[in-house]
Amino acid sequence: MQVIARKGLRVPIETGSRRYVTDGALVDVPNTVYYRRRIAEGDLLSGEAATKAAAAAKPAPVADTSPANAVAPDANAAPAGDKKSTKGA
């Protein structure tokens, strides 16, 4: 079975030989209780879940800052710092 660590985690390999499953790439591991428990706890993601999560992740929307969509300032609006005109005095 293939697994990958949750983002930001390093999960030790079952044999404990100072090797880790990281969030960098899928790793082939045996289907043992140790890895199934780590998946259940959320430390590891199964290969299928990791590929589905990557496919579902969409890039953040980009704001349109083109001048065509800009709002023209109101000519009758008072300046922001003019207290007399904003209070009506």
Tokens 């005109």 sit on residue = 85
Torsion of CA 21, 27, 28, 31, to 10 degrees: 50
Could you report the per-residue pLDDT of 59-74, keeping only the tens digit for each?
Answer: 666 666 666 666 666 6
CB within 8 Å of 7: residues ≥ 6 apart: 23
Which pTM does this prediction carry?
0.57
CB within 8 Å of 45: residues ≥ 6 apart: 3, 4, 5, 6, 39, 53
What does the pLDDT read at residue 38?
96
Maximal C-alpha separation, the chain: 79
